[in-house]
Amino acid sequence: MNKAYALLRQQGVIRINRESGAAVRRDAGTGPPEAPFIDDWEERMRVLLAEATVHGIDRQDVLGRCEALPIAFEESV
């Protein structure tokens, strides 16, 4: 469990306070994400897009999934 908390803290998802415990650091209402997050996210996206290309997933399918997945995520929350 400590490793999971440490990873989430390192990624900027939670903040940990010894007195009050762990809390979510950001949500959609806190404004745009910080530049380091965007840089890391974009690099991970490049890897995923390269994998899609290698496996023959065409551009339209990628774009369609990119549009559908956030909607599905919002509906599940």
Residues 1-45 have pLDDT tens digits of 788 878 888 877 787 888 878 877 766 677 788 888 899 999 999
The Cα 22–Cα 25 span in angstroms is 9
Residue range 51-67, pLDDT digits in tens: 999 999 999 999 999 99
Which tokens go with 27? 């949500």
Alpha-helical (H) ranges within 1-77 are 2-10, 35-54, 59-76
pLDDT value at residue 77: 66
The pTM of this model reads 0.60
Sequence-distant (≥ 6) Cβ neighbours of residue 7 within 8 angstroms: none
